[in-house]
Amino acid sequence: MLHNCPICNNATVEGSLFCKAHDRAQVQFESAFGKWQHAYGSQLEKRAFLERLLQLPETGRKSREVARFLLEKGST
Amino acid sequence: MRTTLIIAEKPDAALHIAEALHPQGEPRKLSRKTVPVYEIVRPAERVLVCSALGHLYKVEQIGSASRGEYPVWEYDWKPIHASEQGRARQEKWLDAIAGLAKEADTYVNACDLDVEGSLIGYMILKYACNGAHSVAKRMKFSTLTPEELRRAYENMLPQLDFPLVNAGLCRHEVDWLYGINLSRALTESARRSSNRYTTLSTGRVQGPTLRFVVEREQQIETFVPIPYWEIQANVEINGQTLQAEYEAPRLDTKAEAEGVASKSHGKEGLVGDIESHAAQVPPPVPFDLSTLQAEAYRHFRMVPRESLGVAERLYLDALISYPRTSSQKLPTSINYRHVLELLSKNTTYEPLATKLLNTHNLLPNEGKKTDPAHPAVYPTGAPPKRPLEPKQSKILDLIVRRFMAVFGPPAERETVKATINVDNLKFYLRGSRILDAGWIDSYKPYARFEEVTLPPVSKGTHVKFLSVTAVEKFSQPPPRYNPSSLLREMEANEIGTKATRAEIIETLARRAYFKGDRIEVTPLGIQIVDVLEKYCPRVLDVAFTRELEEMMVDIELGKEKRQRVVSEAISHLRPIMNELKTHEQEIGGQLSSTIRQARAAELTFSVACPKCGRVLHVIRNRKSGKRFIGCLGKWEAGCSFTLPLPQLGRLSLLDQRCNKCSFQLVKVTSKGRRPLITCQMCYVKK
């Protein structure tokens, strides 16, 4: 059954909580978090990672929206 | 006495041809229905020279179908004035040419030597000159200088260049079929769904080009930066402070970066190996159109369409060769020495041109790209007959200096790398200088090399590490396209032609699919790609577009038949159109909602959000469809500021502010009612 993306209300892609654009951002998060842990040490928590992403100007708009959503949901 | 009718592409070109063919350069100007025509009387020959006004014929739908119906497969070539309003000038032109054709017994196509020029001349000869295309001759030239034009007239091809004509016919017909059908499908789907008309378009080249931009936008929007570290080291050698670079330009972990910094900070190192390397920097290659457009954008920020327009004006003034070329070759037949001699008469270029003229063997550094019809862009050396506009002067100067640079000797550059060893770590000091400027002198100010001078160092010199810090950095998202880099992307993917790429970029911007000089795609642009990707992905397929381009090039080379390519294109298009027709309602729904949102997004307030200072917009709720004033800081900063809006009527934002609270005023207009001007901030406070 199709649902709507909780961020933008567009239709979700199959098997994802998000729409196509936000899902793509979320996939980037998964691989990026591993690289951040390698860079800062494995003690880096996901919440700190997401909070830092929100502060960086390089973070894309969709990625920023997903980060904020995940932080608000507390699903870290 | 025979009468020869020569048809040039533009009025300026006709005048140049007429002047070149007249012994004293003074042809008699006749006026036929106010259309300029030149007459030259030569021994046993009367020559009439007139011109087209670019394309005078176009592909047009035949049959009784209305403009909104699709798909359409029946077409024919018709005069432009017959189907477009405001084309009286074109009609007058064709009438005049038809009248001249009756006086002539020999016909010559002297339009620009490329697919478009060959087609323009062919259509006029065929339809306005009563089928003269079958007996007409062809003049071939790359500059409008008198010598070359006279040579071209004496050595005409005995018939038209039919492979180019067929390629032109095919390109226009295929592009028309794709453009009209796909664009109508999008426009009509949206119109039938929303009852409002918005021109939407796509095509064989527009689709893949828009996809490049959308893909780049998606990469930027979903970008997640990755940290890395750079080591910044300030070292002191013989009392002089310099910056040294660490052997690894970037480090992936904080621990490693901080380890390097703490190991070397405040320490003393020793200079180890010193490597010096001299390398030759070859001169640039001659300009083809796209490198000229890229340089014009880099140095003058001129978008490709503008630089092409300026270059064409310079060509029509006989100051440069034909600019729509993909060649990077300069054949000896253009007579380099003669061009340089003419350039040496200009005081600005005299020293450089004279220096080159003193060289025994003038040999250009040619590039790989070729063009069967034209050489690379080069100056004719002729002085301008009228004062040039600033942009024209800039482009001409760029072309002149590039032309001289390609004949220059290679520049010679020396680079030095000194290794500093400290606690088993390696740092480098780098310097570079120009030993021999070579061609760089000719291409100044467009070529620049930065020199970095190192103090005298030798093996064993002591180096003090004053400060070493690990600087945290983050990877950057890919850059946005600009008009020049997008054009290069199209060229690299072999879609479009040198003549059409700049125009396609302009069309996409005009349709509001993207905006800005650093190209930013709009929601409408994303939606168009989404729809095409879902229902007809082939239209966005670069490989498919390239395949068609290759077939058309094969027609130019005489290896392929026009009819076969058109049939092939139609057989690809039919199932696509069926699919679009079947899903018209869904497509219309998607597009019209994006158009509605785009219109609402145009309503951006100039006053900032009173709560967080970010941008206020008119937003439409996706679930309820209701509009309201919302803050863009909702997702960035969690700002919850909103204001209600009237739900009925057409909304616009005024430049006026509220006298009481200074908030921006809103105007709502409804049919049959007086406009309502309101301050929503005060409305809420009431």
SS3 readout for B128-179? HCCCHHHCCEECCCCCCCHHHHHHHHHCCECCCCHHHHHHHHHHHHHHHHHH
Nearest to A9 among B222, B227, B623 (CB): B623
Q: Which of A41, A60, A64 sits opposite B635 (nearest CB)?
A: A64
Is a pLDDT exceeding 70 seen at residue B146? yes
Q: Which CATH number applies to B231-283+412-474?
A: 2.70.20.10
Name the strands in the sheet holding B2-8, side by side, starting at the edge strand that comes first in the sequence.
B28-32, B35-42, B45-51, B2-8, B106-110, B137-138
3-state secondary structure of A58: coil
The whole-chain average pLDDT of chain B stands at: 92
Q: Which residues contact B467 (CB under 8 A, 6 or more apart)?
A: B232, B233, B234, B265
Which residues in chain A have Cβ-Cβ distances shorter than 8 Å to B218?
A: 21, 24
Quote the minimal CA–CA distance from B621 to chain A in Å.
10
When pLDDT is cut at 50, 70 and 90, the band that residue A26 belongs to is very high
- Higher per-residue pLDDT: A4 or B18: B18
The verdict on a CB contact (< 8 Å) between A65 and B254 is: no
Instruction: Quote the pLDDT of residue B596.
Output: 76
**Amino acid at the residue B168:** G
Instruction: Look at residue B489 and tell me whether its pLDDT is greater than 70.
Output: yes
**What are the catalytic residues of B?**
322
CA-based torsion, B491, B494, B498, B499: positive or negative: negative
ipTM of the complex: 0.96
- Strands (E) across B354-484 are located at 411-422, 425-436, 462-474
Beta-bridged to residue B668, according to DSSP, are B651, B676
> Which pLDDT value is given to residue B469?
96
When scoring A12, A13, A51, A64 by the number of chain B Cβ atoms within 10 A, the one with the most, hence best to mutate, is A64
pLDDT at B567: 95
Q: Which residues pair with B464 in a beta bridge?
A: B236, B268
Q: Say if the Cβ atoms of A63 and B221 lie within 8 Å.
A: yes
What's the pLDDT score for residue B563?
94
Q: Which of B71-75, B362-366, B474-478, B624-628 has the lowest mean pLDDT?
A: B624-628
Give domain limits for chain B. 2-160, 169-221+482-591, 231-283+412-474, 289-405, 607-685
Q: Is residue B490 within 8 Å of residue B209, measured between CB atoms? A: yes
Q: Please, which contacts does B176-180 make with residues 24 or more away whose CB atoms are closer than 8 Å?
A: B176/B59, B176/B75, B177/B73, B177/B75, B177/B566, B177/B569, B177/B570, B177/B573, B178/B203, B178/B204, B178/B539, B178/B569, B178/B573, B179/B203, B179/B204, B179/B206, B180/B61, B180/B70, B180/B72
Judge contact between B526 and B212, C-beta under 8 A: no
Phi and psi based region of residue B672 (left: phi greater than 0; alpha: psi -120 to 50; beta: remaining): left
Average pLDDT over residues B252-264: 96
What pLDDT does B64 receive? 67
- Percent of chain A surpassing pLDDT 90: 71
Which chain A residue lies closest to B223 (C-alpha atoms)? A60
Q: Identify the pLDDT of residue B387.
A: 94
> If pLDDT is split at 50, 70 and 90, which confidence band does B601 have?
low
User: Residue A68 is nearest to which of B220, B252, B635, comparing CB atoms?
Assistant: B635
Which tops the pLDDT comparison, A58 or B625?
A58
Whether chain A has a CB inside 8 Å of the CB on B476: the answer is yes
Query: Do A21 and B222 count as a contact with CB atoms less than 8 A apart?
Result: yes
Q: What is the mean pLDDT of residues B433-449?
A: 92
pLDDT at B206 over 70: yes
Q: What is the model's pTM?
A: 0.78
The rounded distance, in Å, linking the Cα atoms of B599 and B601 is 5
Q: What is the largest CA-CA distance in chain A?
A: 40
pLDDT given at position A57: 95
Q: In the 8-state DSSP scheme, what is residue B266?
A: T
Q: Using a CB-CB distance cutoff of 8 angstroms, which residues of chain B are in contact with residue A16? A: none
B228 shares contact with chain A (CB less than 8 Å) = yes
Quick check: B224 and A38 CB within 8 A? no
Q: What pLDDT, on the 0 to 100 scale, is given for residue B602? A: 66
Nearest Cα of chain A lies from the Cα of B596 at a distance, in angstroms, of: 15
Orientation of helix B336-343 relative to helix B390-405, angle to 10°:
130
Q: How confident is the model at residue A75 (pLDDT cuts 50, 70, 90)?
A: low
The CA distance from A32 to the nearest CA of chain B, in Å, is 7
pLDDT in tens, B573-598: 999 999 999 999 988 888 888 787 76
The minimal CB distance from A58 to the residues B228, B252, B474 is found for: B474
Per-residue pLDDT tens digits for B491-506:
999 898 887 898 999 9
Is the Cβ of B623 closer than 8 Å to some Cβ of chain A?
yes
| Predicted local distance difference test score (pLDDT) of residue B154 | 95
d(CA B109, CA B117): 9
CATH architecture of the domain formed by B169-221+482-591: Orthogonal Bundle (1.10)
Mean per-residue pLDDT for B10-33? 92
- What pLDDT sits at residue A2? 56
- Which two structure tokens, joined as six digits, stand for B86? 């405001």
Flag whether pLDDT at A30 surpasses 90.
no
Nearest chain B residue to A31 by CA: give it.
Answer: B224
Could A56 and B225 be called an inter-chain contact, meaning their C-beta atoms sit closer than 8 Å? yes
For residue B449, what are the CA distances in angstroms to A60, B409, B456? 35, 16, 21
CA-wise closest residue to B487 among B346, B302, B663: B302
Alpha carbon of A29: minimum distance to chain B alpha carbons (Å):
7
Sequence-ordered alpha helix ranges (H) in B268-411: 289-300, 304-316, 336-343, 350-357, 390-405
Contact A25 B254 (CB under 8 A): no
Q: Are the C-beta atoms of residues B548 and B157 closer than 8 Å to each other? A: no
Cβ–Cβ gap B224/A29 under 8 Å: yes
Q: What pLDDT band is residue B384 in, cutting at 50, 70 and 90? A: very high
Q: Is A10 exposed, middle or buried (0-12, 13-18, 19+ CB in 10 A)?
A: middle
Residue type, B292: L
Angstrom distances, CA of residue B362 to CA of B350, B371, B402, B454, B604: 17, 22, 15, 37, 60
The Cα B376–Cα B368 span in angstroms is 11
Question: Is B535 a residue whose pLDDT tops 80?
Answer: yes
Alpha-carbon span B492 to B479, nearest angstrom: 17
Q: What CATH number belongs to B2-160?
A: 3.40.50.140
pLDDT at res. B264: 94
**Cross-chain Cβ contact B223/A59 below 8 Å:** yes
Q: Which residues of A touch B254 (CB under 8 A)?
A: 39-41
Set of chain A residues whose Cβ sits within 8 Å of the Cβ of B255: 41
Which of the residue ranges A28-42, B135-149, B252-266, B633-647 would you say has the lowest mean pLDDT? B633-647
Cα angle B631, B599, B645; round to 5: 50
**Inter-chain Cβ pairs, chain A and chain B, closer than 8 A:** 73
Spatial distance between the Cα atoms of B517 and B679, rounded to a whole number of angstroms: 34
Share of chain B above pLDDT 90, in %: 71
Distance CA B519, CA B506 (A): 11
Contacts with A41 from chain B: Cβ below 8 Å: 254-255
Q: Is the predicted pLDDT of residue B538 greater than 90, yes or no?
A: no
Mean pLDDT calculated for residue range B548-563: 92
Residue B69 has pLDDT above 90, yes or no: no
Identical topology for domains B231-283+412-474 and B289-405 = no
* pLDDT for B65 beyond 70: no
**Pairwise CB contact (< 8 Å): B253 & A39:** yes
Say whether B100 sits in a helix, a strand or coil: helix
Characterize B625-637 residue by residue with b for buried, 16 or more Cβ atoms within 10 angstroms of its Cβ, and e for exposed.
Answer: eebbbbbbbbbeb
* Other CB atoms within 10 Å distance of the CB of residue B401: 23
Pull the structure tokens for residue B544.
Answer: 């498919």
Which of B549, B294, B588, B247 is CA-nearest to residue B422? B247
pLDDT for the residue numbered B599:
67
What percent of chain B is modeled with pLDDT above 70? Answer: 99
To the nearest whole angstrom, how far is the Cα of B195 from the nearest Cα of chain A?
A: 23
Average pLDDT estimate for B545-551? 88
B472 at A interface, C-beta within 8 A: no
Q: What is the mean pLDDT of residues B479-489?
A: 94
With cut-offs at 50, 70 and 90, classify the pLDDT of residue B623: confident
CA B378 to chain centre: 20
> Which CATH number fits the domain B289-405, given the four candidates 3.40.50.720, 1.10.290.10, 1.10.10.10, 3.30.70.1430?
1.10.290.10
What average pLDDT score do residues B510-534 get? 88
Instruction: Give the DSSP letter of residue B605.
Output: E
Is residue B603 predicted with pLDDT exceeding 80?
Answer: no
B225 vs A38: CB contact, 8 Å cut-off? no
Nearest to A24 among B222, B252, B474 (CB): B222
Minimal Cβ distance to B224: which of A9, A32, A65: A32
Provide the phi-psi class of B422: left if phi over 0, else alpha when psi is between -120 and 50, else beta.
beta
Q: Considering CB atoms only, which of A9, A56, A65 is closest to B474?
A: A56
Residue B226 sits at the chain A interface (C-beta within 8 Å): yes
pLDDT of residue B414: 94
Place of tokens 């010193």: B274
Over 80: is that where the pLDDT of B66 sits?
no
Rounded to whole angstroms, how far apart are CA atoms A4 and B317? 61
Sign (positive/negative) of CA torsion B558, B564, B570, B572? negative
Interface list for A 36-55 with B (CB within 8 A): 36, 38-41, 53-54
Chain A residues with beta carbon closer than 8 angstroms to that of B225: 32, 53, 56, 58-59
Angle at CA of residue B141, ends B137 and B143, nearest 5°: 150
User: Residue B240: in which H helix or E strand, if any?
Assistant: strand B240-246
A12 touches chain B (CB under 8 A): no
Query: Which contacts qualify for B680-684: CB closer than 8 Å, 24 or more apart?
Result: B680/B629, B680/B643, B680/B644, B680/B645, B681/B610, B681/B643, B682/B658, B683/B643, B683/B644, B684/B643, B684/B644
Give the gap in angstroms from C-alpha B633 to the nearest C-alpha of chain A.
11
What's the CA gap between B128 and B93, in Å, rounded? 10
Contact: A60, B220; criterion CB under 8 Å: yes
Nearest to A39 among B218, B227, B638 (CB): B227
